[in-house]
Structures are given as C-alpha cells and as structure tokens.
Amino acid sequence: MSRIDDIADMIVDDLTFDPDVDASDITAENRDGNVVLTGNVPSYPQYLEAAAVARRISGVKDVRNRLQITLPPGDRRDDAQLTAKANDALTLDHSVAAGVKATAKDGIITLTGEARCGAERAAAETMIAALTGVRGVRNNVQIREDAAPLHQYGVPMEQA
C-alpha cells in the first residue's frame, strides 16, 4: 500500500471512529497530500467535523470538502422558519454583535452586518452552524473599521 493510500485510509478510519460524524457515505481521495472528501452527511456540523478530522492527519496539505449535506426529513426547515430561528439565536448570544442578521435560502444561512472583531464574526457563524435545518453558512459579516483593538481577553483596550 502506498503512502497516498495510507492517508486516505487513515482519514476514513478516523472518520469512522469519530462519534460526531456519520462516515457511512464518505470517501477520501488523496492527491499528494491534497485530500478530496466526497459523499453525504446528514448535517452541517458533520460536514465541518469531517473536514477538521481530515486536516488533522499527518501528510495532509489541503482538504477540499465536497461532501453534500442531505438533511433527514425531520430536520428540514422552511426558509422563513430557519431565518427566524437563526435571528433568535443571534439575539440570545451575547458574544455576537447586535448588528448581525441572518437570512435563509434553501437551508443556507447568509450572515450580514457588522462586528467589532473577528471573534464576534466567528461566534455568529458557530451559533448558526448548529441549528437544525442548516445546510451551510455564508459569513458576510464585516469587521467595523472603527473597532477598537482588543485586549488579550477579548475586551476592547479602552475598557481593559
């Protein structure tokens, strides 16, 4: 077995034993350290986790995540319902900027608005990714140009 096959096999093995991923329909192909994941997963968090697992394998240079998200029938949400749930979640999470808004189209959430820092932008995406019915997230949140630099603990410098 060649090193190329070893990397692909290690990825599939790790995915199979990862409790957060249903790897039954995932295939990994290695092209000199550039890995392509194909197949289907039942949720967006599993889509993200599969790529994270592949990146942790020694010898992997890049991961192209071409997995399709096929939601189980009970997990599907219409756009209006998913938009409302996403905006409720953003409102309840104090680590997300108040100006961030979500809209859904075919299970893909688009985040817009402004955040004070990258951590707020990332928190918005993380909050939305776990919602039932999400098939993907497009994070178009902009970092405000007038944002104060952050202290090491995530507090604006003038408040630290």
pLDDT of residue 116: 87
Tell whether the model's pLDDT for residue 147 goes beyond 90.
no
pLDDT of residue 2: 47
Question: Do residues 90 and 136 share a domain?
Answer: yes
pLDDT of residue 152: 54
- Structural domain including 48 reads 3-69
Q: Which long-range contacts (CB under 8 A, 24 or more apart) does 71-77 make?
A: 71/42, 71/43, 71/107, 71/133, 71/135, 72/42, 75/42, 75/43, 75/132, 75/133, 76/107, 76/133, 77/104, 77/107, 77/132, 77/133
Tell whether the model's pLDDT for residue 159 goes beyond 60.
no
Please indicate, yes or no, if residue 60 is contained in any of the structural domains: yes
pLDDT of residue 145: 76
Please indicate, yes or no, if residue 88 is contained in any of the structural domains: yes
Q: What is the DSSP string of 38-85?
A: EEEESSHHHHHHHHHHHHTSTT--EEEEEEEE---GGG---HHHHHHH
Question: Do residues 25 and 84 share a domain?
Answer: no
pLDDT of residue 144: 83
Question: In terms of pTM, does the model score above 0.85?
Answer: no
Please indicate, yes or no, if residue 84 is contained in any of the structural domains: yes
pLDDT of residue 3: 52
Please indicate, yes or no, if residue 125 is contained in any of the structural domains: yes
Residue 126's closest CA among 100, 106, 151, 147?
A: 100
Question: Do residues 85 and 134 share a domain?
Answer: yes
pLDDT of residue 92: 83
Instruction: Name the least confident of 19-28, 81-90, 112-121, 138-147.
Output: 138-147
Q: Read off the tokens for 103.
A: 């809209």
Question: Do residues 43 and 84 share a domain?
Answer: no
Residue 44's closest CA among 99, 92, 90, 106?
A: 106
- Distance CA(95)–CA(86), nearest Å, equals 15
What is the DSSP secondary structure assignment for residue 111, as one 8-state letter? Answer: E
The predicted-structure confidence for 33-83, as pLDDT tens digits, reads as follows: 999 999 999 999 999 999 999 999 999 999 999 999 999 999 999 999 999
Question: Do residues 57 and 102 share a domain?
Answer: no
Residue 96's closest CA among 59, 121, 70, 113?
A: 121
Report the number of distinct structural domains present in the chain.
2
The predicted-structure confidence for 87-118, as pLDDT tens digits, reads as follows: 999 988 676 767 899 999 999 999 999 988 88
